Amino acid sequence: MTGTWIAVLATAGGCYALKLAGLTVPRRLLGNARMRRFAELVPVALLAALIAVQAATSGQSLVLDPARLAGLAAAVLALALRAPFLLVIVVAAGTAAGLRALGVA
Amino acid sequence: MADQPEQEAGPASPGSPLASPPPISSPKAGQPPAGSRPARAPQAGPSPAGPSPARPVRDGLVLGLAVGTSGLAFGAAAVGSGLSAWQACALSLLAYTGASQFALAAAVASGGGLIAGTAGAILLGSRNALYGLRLADLLGVRGGKRLLAAHGVTDETTAVALAQPGAAAAAAGFRATFASLYLTWNICTLAGALGAGRLGSPQSLGLDVVGPAAFLALIWPRLRAGRTERGVGLLGAAIAVGATPLLPAGMPVILAASAALAGTFAPPGHESA
């Protein structure tokens, strides 16, 4: 049990240190044009990866969950129609929930 | 967390704040800065298209509430893995980063080495360091505020902050998302650890789709803004999905950061409308 507590607190400390490290990176490092471009593009790469992983995987396997995919497709449609943010997520969640309630997916 | 009240007075925009391209995608982004401090036009004065801070705050509050419910799944998974309810809550309060928390719970459940499990969980937190590179400039926090803001660096706060058209709106969105998500995530962790997950699944409400749909909505303007952004997004998604069967959970997303590295070598100025 003590070992588990040490693991819990070490994980917490390590995760916090990483978050703080990113925020405290010296400004002159970000003054470099390529470094700035990397910092701009990294959230796009990571968030796009998260979207894909949350949409199409479960654990270490690729899954096709029709309700999840339909919800995401509805979000894409709403975005293409320039719907505001909250409407996009309501439409996405509502589509997935509706399909599951109907037992379709 | 950024004290730049001069932008708070921007007129309310009828359109979505997400519809305006983020300041950083200007063609100047690839040029070297003029001085020791990078010159950033959007911070020079109030943006005429700047929305009222009410919208990023509202969006952040709702996103935090919806995504925070996945704390139920974490609480249940943690206790199922052999962590105590206290340990599950300590992780949500102090580590406060979902991927690392799930990874540590899985390591405890496997009964394998806790040192390796801890190292793996911390490694998964490295994407927050990468977010910080961008947020440091955007939030402009110092001292104690920086120590507090650091705890709030997650996928959700980053996505909301980066989707805003100005630094003040970005800071307001960051704060609102952090507060809402932190409270919801921790309350739901406790509830999940105590067995509330059996009452009903957030999936039946479609809440598992909220995260990806929200992230998509938040990076949408950036994907529209430039060919390089679209390429980086597609490459990142492909890397992550392709690596999923091969790597432990969480690692494929980190590997996808290499897509951003590739994007830095794309010629600047390839922006399309």
- Position B181 pLDDT exceeds 80: yes
Q: Can you spell out the DSSP letters for A47-80?
A: HHHHHHHHHHEETTEE---HHHHHHHHHHHHHHH
**How many angstroms separate the first and last alpha carbons of chain B?**
32
> Taking CB atoms and an 8 Å limit, are B232 and A31 in contact across chains?
no
pLDDT value of position B157: 97
Give the 3-state secondary structure of residue B212.
helix
Q: Which of B96, B162, B237 sits opposite A49 (nearest CB)?
A: B237
Per the prediction, chain A carries an average pLDDT of 93
Domain ranges of chain A: 64-105
Instruction: Tell me the three state secondary structure of residue A62.
Output: strand
* Lowest mean pLDDT, pick from A56-70, B39-53, B60-74, B85-99: B39-53
Give the pLDDT confidence score for residue A1 in this predicted structure.
64
Taking CA atoms, B172 is separated from A44, B7, B8, B187, B247, in Å, by 21, 11, 10, 23, 36
Residue B201 pLDDT: 75
Range A49-60 average pLDDT: 92
Residue of A nearest to B108 (CA): A4
ipTM of the shown complex: 0.93
Determine contact, residues B240/B257, Cβ cutoff 8 Å.
no
With 0.90 as the threshold, say if the pTM is over it. no
Q: Is the Cβ pair B24, A40 closer than 8 Å?
A: yes
Helix, strand, coil % (nearest 5) of chain B?
A: 70, 0, 30
Whether the Cβ atoms of residue B212 and residue B70 lie closer than 8 Å to each other: no
Q: What is the mean pLDDT of residues A41-54?
A: 95
Interface of A with B in 12-41 (CB under 8 A): 12-16, 18-25, 27-28, 30-31, 33-41
pLDDT of B19 = 39
**pLDDT digit string, tens, across residues B44-88:** 334 444 456 789 999 999 999 999 998 998 999 899 899 999 999
pLDDT averaged over every residue in chain B: 81
User: Mean pLDDT, to the nearest integer, of B141-167?
Assistant: 95
Token representation of residue B252: 């494929």
